[in-house]
Structures are given as C-alpha cells and as structure tokens.
Amino acid sequence: MSTTFNKTPPEVLRADFVLTLRLALPLIIAEVGWMSMGIVDTIMVGRLPDSAVAIGATGLGQSLYHSIAIFGGGLLLGLDTFVAHAYGREDLNDARLSLVNGLFLAFALTPILMFAVSFWPALMTRFGISLELVGPMRPFLSALNWGTLPLLAYFALRRYLQAVNVANPIMFALISANIVNLIGDWALIYGHLGFPAMGIAGSGWSTCIARIYMAGVLVITLMWVEAKRALPGWVHALRVDARRFDRKTRSSAPVRSRDRLELRRAHLHGSLGNQFRRSGKGGTTAGQEGSRGSKAGRMVSHSARRHVHDLLRPGLRVPSDGDRPHV
C-alpha cells in the first residue's frame, strides 16, 4: 500500500519559521546574557591585586554554587511542558496552577539548597583545594547563596512566560541584569558610590542583587500580562497539587541529570586547574576559564533547542496573535 504525503505550501512553512524565530531569538539572546553574567564577574575581579586567586576563587565558587542550584532549576524545567500544553489547549487556569505550584516548589527548595551550599567551603578544604582559594571563595559563595530564592522564582516565572509566548521581557531582564551586575561589581568590589570595597565578596552580592532584579522584572511582566486577560482571577490556581509536583519532577529528570553532569565536568576541570596552579601561577585561570567557555557554548545551544522543542510540540495548537497578549 503506497503512502502519499501532501506537500506543505511555502507560505505555511514561512509563517511557521517566522513564529519559531520570534519565540526562539529572544530566548537565545537571554541564554547568552545568562552566561555573560559570569564573564562580567570574571573581568571585574580580574582587576584586583592578586588576579589569579580572585578569578580562581570566583570561578570555583560559581561552579560549586550552580552544581547545587541547578537541582532546583532542573525541577522547574517541567513547567515548560505543562504550561505549553495547557496554553495550547486554551486551558489558562491549568497553566496558572502549574506556575503557582512551581513557585511553591521554589520556596520549599530554597532553605534546603542554601543549607547544602553552605557545606562547600569545608568540603573543598577536605578535598585538598588550596586555602588560598577557599578563603576568599567563602564570603563570595555566601553572598551568592542569598540569591537562591530570587533565582528559583526567576526560573519558575520564566518557564511560565515563555510558554505563553511572552519572550521579549525575558531577554530584556537578562540584558539589563548584566548592566545592573556590572555597576554593582564596580561599586561593591572597588568601593564606589559610597559603598565599602568588598573585594571578591562584592561580586557575589552584586550577582545576588542582579537576580533579585531579574525576578522583579518578570513579576511585573506577569502582572501586566495577566491584567490584559479577559479571564477569571487566580483564586482557583492558589492551591498545592501534589500529583502535579510528581509529574513535573519526572518530566524534568532526564534534562536535570544531563545539566548536572555537565556542571560536574566543568567543576572537575576547574579543580584540576587549581592543582596545576601550585606549579604555575595562572593554572587555575586557564583551566577554569577554558572549561567555562566550552560549557557556555553547550549550555546556550542545549537550552535554546530544549525551549523551542518544549514550546512548539507537534499536535499543539499555537495561538495566533489575536488571542493572546503579545509583549
């Protein structure tokens, strides 16, 4: 029995391509902005007197922090699928319920993740990492740790907004957060604008402030988007759904495991660079920055591909511009 395939008209393909590009391009730029925040920190601490120690401590602290924080962010990856499916079938109340449960999950995970991160300095000392790195890394990691709640809230809000086709504010939040982080680094690391010079710890506090800013931008965006919807309020969405938690965790487990393995590999490279540093001053910098650069490229391509795959699945109806608030 022969199978016939209908050829898709060029105008349909062109319309689909434009729709995909409109969604994907802001998310790709946002991913680049996310990775560039660490680069800004590295550049700013690199001007401190002992630049090799400053860059090594900052890079090691970021790798250790994200190896724990990625667990919380990974649990929220399931929002992509649930919200996009609900939005495709025009069930906005179900999409809102997924967001509310994602935010509940973020609040519940925050103290657990912060407690886990607090053990890293002692563990690094036990593993033989140089005290010259662990000492300045400790206050930097502590400052980063206070940004855990806004970071997880940002993850949850971003998943919801991009799944309902609101991508441009996400791009704006990441780009402008880099400017906030740059100014914060300048002020807190080197003691400008009336602030004391905090050194490496100032970079951690600047990143924490930038994450609060990112979450704030997306909260404002969410309020603006929802205010334009001609639908009932959020009353029915304000409840915890344990079954949804379980489904969300299962759907995000493969991607979460992959991201954690990537971070562990980057952390291993950085640790090896630290050992080489004992025989050469720049070993930590070279080892860690090389691993971070390669990881940045992989994370951007993986994340962009994952977002578009989850948000534009075959069989889902993609709402037109007339029946959604476009930002």
Query: DSSP letters of 49-109?
Result: SSHHHHHHHHHHHHHHHHHHHHHHHHHTTHHHHHHHHHHHTT-HHHHHHHHHHHHHHHHHH
Of 97, 90, 24, give the one whose Cα is nearest residue 316. Answer: 90
Of 251, 309, 237, 228, give the one whose Cα is nearest residue 75. Answer: 251
Distance CA 276, CA 17 (A): 48
Between 117 and 24, the higher pLDDT residue: 117
Name the most confidently modeled range: 211-220, 280-289, 310-319.
Answer: 211-220
pLDDT at residue 311 is higher than 70: no
Q: Which residues contact 317 (CB under 8 A, 6 or more apart)?
A: 88, 89, 90
What confidence tier does 260 reach under pLDDT thresholds 50, 70, 90?
very low
Number of neighbouring beta carbons within 10 Å of residue 123? 11
Distance CA 209, CA 180 (A): 8
pLDDT of residue 64: 92
Element (H, E) at 197: none
Of 306, 311, 19, 33, give the one whose Cα is nearest residue 162. Answer: 311
pLDDT at residue 261 is higher than 60: no
pLDDT at residue 303 is higher than 60: no
Q: Which segments of the chain does DSSP mark as H helices, in order?
A: 10-45, 51-75, 78-88, 92-117, 120-126, 131-145, 148-163, 168-190, 200-227, 242-277, 283-311
What confidence tier does 21 reach under pLDDT thresholds 50, 70, 90?
confident
Length of the chain: 327
Span 84-114, pLDDT tens digits = 888 888 888 888 888 988 999 999 999 999 9
Average pLDDT over residues 277-288: 43
Of 288, 29, 53, give the one whose Cα is nearest residue 176. Answer: 29
Distance CA 51, CA 319 (A): 51
Pair of tokens at residue 289: 């920055």
pLDDT of residue 228: 82
pLDDT at residue 243 is higher than 70: no
Span 157-200, pLDDT tens digits = 999 999 888 989 999 999 999 999 999 999 999 999 999 999 99
Span 218-234, pLDDT tens digits = 999 999 988 887 666 66
pLDDT of residue 80: 82
